[in-house]
Structure 1
C-alpha cells in the first residue's frame, strides 16, 4: 500500500496554497534543491569538463530514462531523455512515417495538444504527407487502410478525456499503421502500460506529474521491434554510434540511443532524477485509485455547490485521466480569482477551468478547500473585479 502522506511530505507546498495545477507544472520536490546544489558544487565547479565521465553526465539520459520506463510500462534500455517534447514528437513521427513507406496519412484528433499538431503539420508539408484531424470520438472510425501513423495524446489536455490506448493501437495495427502516443498528461498520473498496449512509439514531458521542474527534458520510447530500424529525420551528434569519432557521415547508435539529439541538460536531469526518487515504492494501481477518489470527490462537491459551472470532463472515471475541467462563461476571471484566494488551477481557452489531481501530494483536504473557495467566488461574484479580467501572457 502506497503511503501518500509520506509522498506529500516529499514536496515543498507553499503555506496557504492549494495546488491543483500539477498537470501544468509539478511543485518542487524537497530533495531537488539540495541535489542540484551538490551537482553544481561538487561536480560542475570541481570536476569541470571531466564531469561527463567522472560524474556520469553522459549516461544520464539512459539512467533517468530507465527510471521513467517503470512508470509507463516500458523495459530497461527502452527510454531515453533529452530535448523538448516537440522535438521528440518530430523524431518519433518522422521515424514512424519512414517505417511505413508508401503510406502518407497521419491521423490525429482535435483534442490533441496544438503543439503536436503544429509539428505534424510541418513534417507532413516537408515530406509530402497528409495530416487528418478528426474529433476525439471519431478517431476509431477514421482509421483506414491508407493510414501510416496514428498520433494521439492519451489524455486530452482540456477535458481530461482518456483514449483507450490498447484498443486504438490494435485498430491501427489491423489497418497496417503504427501508433504514436503522447503521454504528457499520462506519465505519473495514470497507469500507463505501453508494452501491454503494444504501442510503437511514445513521448512525454517530465515537468507535469513527474515534477522535474520548468523546462525539464522530454523522454522518448521506441518499441524494441522498431528500435534498430527507426530512422528519425532529426539526426543529432549524441545519437551517433560513435559521437567522439567525429565522423562526417551519420551512423545511428543502437536502439533508442539513436533518438538522442543534443547535449544532455545535466542540471535539469539532476533535478528530475531527484524528483523520481519520490516514486520509489509507489504502486501505479494505488496511484490510479487515489486519482479517481480525488477527482470523483471534486466533481461531486462542485456539482453540489456550484450550479454556475458545467462539467467538461467525462463523467465515467474510467474514461478520464487525472484532471477535471468545468466550463464557465467567465472562466479566465474565475480562475484568477481562485488563484488570488490560494487555490491554483489554470484556464484553457475559451472558457475552461482546469484542475489537476496529483495523488503524490494532493489529498481530500485540498479537494474540500478548492470546492469551498470556488463556491464562494461564484456565489459572491468575486471574479467580477476588473483586475481578474486582465489577461497575463501565460494563462
Structure 2
C-alpha cells in the first residue's frame, strides 16, 4: 500500500504557479517527505499552461517537470493531474471556454482535440522522469457535467465515455511503461443517478479506480463527524467502487480523503480511524491525504474549512493531524494495526434506476453495511447484475 499527500503549496496556494519558486517547493516537499510518504499528487493550473486553445506554454511545462525532479531528489514519486479544473470550490477554466467563447468541454470536437493536445504535452514533459507515478486526467472534472454546478457543460453518459476514452488514450500515447493513467470523479458519480459520469466509467477507463471521500456529503450530517458512518465512509466508498470491477485484480486508489473542520472536530482521531478501516480494503493501491498545507489567510473567499485541511500550517509548522498521519503510516507499514479479512457480502441491486442514490451515505443500504461491519472490516459489496 502506498501513502502520499495532495500537494498544496504553502506560499500562495496553487496561485504560486504564476511565479514558481523551486526554493519554496523544495522546502515544502522536504517537510512532506519527513512524514514517511512515498508520493505526492501534483496539480498545475490548466489555464496557466494552455491560456489559448492553440498555446501550450513551454515554461509552464518546465516548471511542472522541475517539481517532479525536486520530488525525486527527496525520494518521492509524483502523480501529475492535467485539467485543473476545480480546486477547493474555485473553477480554473481557460477563457477560451467561457463567456463570449463558451463551448462545451466534453462535446465540442475542436475543444476535445485541444484537450488531447494538452494532455499529450503535459505527459510528454514528465514522461522521462524515473519517479513519475502516473497521470490523472483532472481533478473531479465530472463536477462540470451537471448540477449543482451553476453553469454546467452537459454531456450524456455515452459522451462522457467517449471523452474519457480519447483523453486516456492521449495520456497513454506519451506515458512511459508502468506509469498509471487514471481519471478522478467526485462522489456524485457513485451517489447521484443524474450524474452523467457513472460508476462504470470509473472502472472502464484508466489503470485504477479512483475514489475521493468527503464526509460533508451527508455522512457526517447523518452520523456525526466522528461517528462510524463518517470514519468508515472511505472504506465503504472503496468497497462500493470495487463492486463495479470486471477484473478482480483492478486496484482502488483512495486519492483524496481529508478531515473537514466544518463537520469534524478532532482531525487526528478522524484520520486514525479512517486509515485503520480503509487499510482493510482488498487490493487498496494507496491512501493520498488532502492536503499538505493549509490555505493562507491572506487568500480570501475560500469556504472556511479550506483554511484548515492541511497537515502543515501555511508557514510550514506540522499540525497534530500531520503527526498522526506520520504515526499511522509507520504503524501500518510495520503491521501494528491489525487488518482482518472480511467474509460478509452485501448485494446492491443495480438493475433498477435509483440504485446510485440508494447507495448513498444517508440511505438504508449504507446503514445495513455499517450494521454488518460491526467492529470488524466492512462487508464486500457485489452487484446484482454481476452475480
TM-score exceeds 0.5:
no
Report the TM-score when normalising by structure 2: 0.29
Larger radius of gyration: 1
Q: TM-score, normalised by structure 1?
A: 0.29
